[in-house]
Amino acid sequence: MMVQQAVSATGAPDVFASTRERFLIPDGVRYFDGNSLGLMPRVVQLHASNVITHEWGLGLIHSWHEAEWRTLPQRAGAKIARLIGAKPTEVVACDSTSVNLFKVVVSAVRLRPGRKTIVTDADAFPTDLYIVDQVAKLFGLTVVAVPAARIIENLNADVAAVVLTHVDYRSAEIYDMHAFTQASHRAGALIVWDLSHTAGGVPCDLNACEADFAVGCGYKYLNGGPGAPAYLYVAERHANDCEQPLAGWFGHARPFDFAPDYRPAEGTSRFLCGTHPVIGLSVLSRALDLFDGVPLEALRERSLQLTQRFIERVDAQLAPHGFVVASPRAASLRGSHVSLRHPEGYGVMQALAARKFIGDFRMPDYMRFGFAPLYNTQEEVAELVDAIDDIMRRREWDKPAFQQRRDFT
């Protein structure tokens, strides 16, 4: 029997017709926070239960081999590689983004001995700034933190490494990976990209840009679950020359020799440190399968359709209430979330949450709405704008309950 395939407006098969159904969406919830914590893929419920009951409970220590726990960092990494334009062997999934950033920034500065400066974006995600500062302290380097637009003019023969986020976490602005990478190389520096708001939302091509290092999160658009392992990328041409600072036994060439001397594994595997969190990593790996069969161009097109529709509706319906679009209007510069600014943004987000519309708030007045191409829809975009409009008309944001500040938003 022929199965009728859903077709998009352009006549091409619609790969997204069934991807939304593969996620658990709580009743009544409209979710626009996939850039912070992705929805749960339904399949991981049974998968996690199997890993716990069969692999851990029954298989016990044998599962390191029989369930192939050993190679999970490499296998999950290979799945992420396709989404970021890397070779499967150049990516491993492990540790947190912050820890991975430390490992790769140290490796980068060690590959450029004698150079005394790290250049970074002054508006980067704070953890990136903290880590870069500590690397500089340890190695006696100077950090030049400037707005992204001024990074290139600060490149010179003293710069060891440039650390930059591809998609800005507040504005969703995309920085030109090719231009920044080439400019860094012209100055003789290496570049480290943070892809936390990229992978799964915005395609990129690390290999085509000749990027040196990258890190990113597993729990945002990759839907790996809260605190999911992160990943890191090291260009093949550098990997065997790298000395990463967290040399643990899982990055050893032969961990089960229990040798007193450290001998790093070949390639990116040397960036592993200690025993990985098998359950979390296995869940991430299974969640990544949801990207199977989704062409990256289609992912990008879908993301742009959602963010474009949102911006158009905001201009038409919400600008009169004082909302300002704080994300780039040019499609080529816009990631997969859109930020709005409004003086009452905090209260509006709380009022939205009470109606089960979930986005998030970033200081001082950014309202962020993530549009995950695998599960968000055009209908939801319209409902979101209508809800904000209604909250403004009723001055719902002004209720005392919605003005109460909490630590997490």
Ligand X SMILES: *Cc1c(COP(=O)(O)O)cnc(C)c1O
Q: Of 63 and 107, which has the nearer Cβ to ligand X?
A: 107
CA dihedral of residues 371, 6, 23, 48 (deg, nearest 10): -130
95, 168, 194, 212: the active-site residue: 194
Shortest spacing between CB 101 and ligand X, in angstroms: 7
Shortest spacing between CB 215 and ligand X, in angstroms: 8
Name the residue type at position 357. Answer: F
Catalytic annotation present for 79: no
Q: Of 15 and 217, which has the nearer Cβ to ligand X?
A: 217
Shortest spacing between CB 376 and ligand X, in angstroms: 19
Catalytic annotation present for 368: yes
30, 82, 220, 270: the active-site residue: 220
Q: How far apart are CA 369 and CA 385, in angstroms?
A: 11
Q: Of 129 and 265, which has the nearer Cβ to ligand X?
A: 129
Known binding-site residues for pyridoxal 5'-phosphate equal 97-98, 125-128, 165, 194, 197, 219, 249, 275
- C-alpha distances (whole Å) from 227 to each of 112, 223, 284 are 33, 10, 10
Catalytic annotation present for 365: no
Q: How far apart are CA 284 and CA 161, in angstroms?
A: 30
Known binding-site residues equal 97-98, 125-128, 165, 194, 197, 219, 249, 275
User: Among candidates 151, 131, 162, 308, which has minimal Cα distance to 230?
Assistant: 131
Shortest spacing between CB 93 and ligand X, in angstroms: 12
- C-alpha distances (whole Å) from 131 to each of 15, 238, 243, 301, 357 are 39, 21, 17, 34, 34
Name the residue type at position 7. Answer: V
Q: Which two tokens stand for residue 64?
A: 């390191």
Q: Cα angle at 238 between 236 and 243, to 5 degrees? A: 125
Distance of CA 295 to the CA centre of its chain: 18
Local structure of residue 7 (DSSP, 8 states): B
For 342-350, which contacts have Cβ atoms below 8 Å and span 24 or more sequence positions?
342/367, 344/397, 344/398, 346/402, 346/403, 346/405, 346/409, 347/396, 347/397, 347/398, 347/399, 347/402, 347/403, 348/388, 348/391, 348/392, 348/397, 349/409, 350/397, 350/401, 350/402, 350/403, 350/404
In the complex, the residues that contact ligand X under the rule CB under 6 A are 96-98, 125, 127-128, 165, 169, 194, 196-197, 217, 230
357, 368, 371, 375: the active-site residue: 368
Shortest spacing between CB 393 and ligand X, in angstroms: 34
Which residues fall within 8 angstroms of residue 256, CB to CB, at 6 or more apart?
A: none
Q: Of 129 and 331, which has the nearer Cβ to ligand X?
A: 129
DSSP, collapsed to helix, strand or coil, labels residue 68 as coil
175, 219, 310, 375: the active-site residue: 219
Q: Of 168 and 396, which has the nearer Cβ to ligand X?
A: 168
Q: How far apart are CA 211 and CA 193, in angstroms?
A: 8
Shortest spacing between CB 370 and ligand X, in angstroms: 11
Shortest spacing between CB 167 and ligand X, in angstroms: 8
Name the residue type at position 289. Answer: D
Catalytic annotation present for 220: yes
Q: Of 165 and 181, which has the nearer Cβ to ligand X?
A: 165
Q: How far apart are CA 124 and CA 111, in angstroms?
A: 23
Catalytic annotation present for 341: no
Q: Of 109 and 230, which has the nearer Cβ to ligand X?
A: 230
Active centre residues (catalytic): 125, 194, 219-220, 368
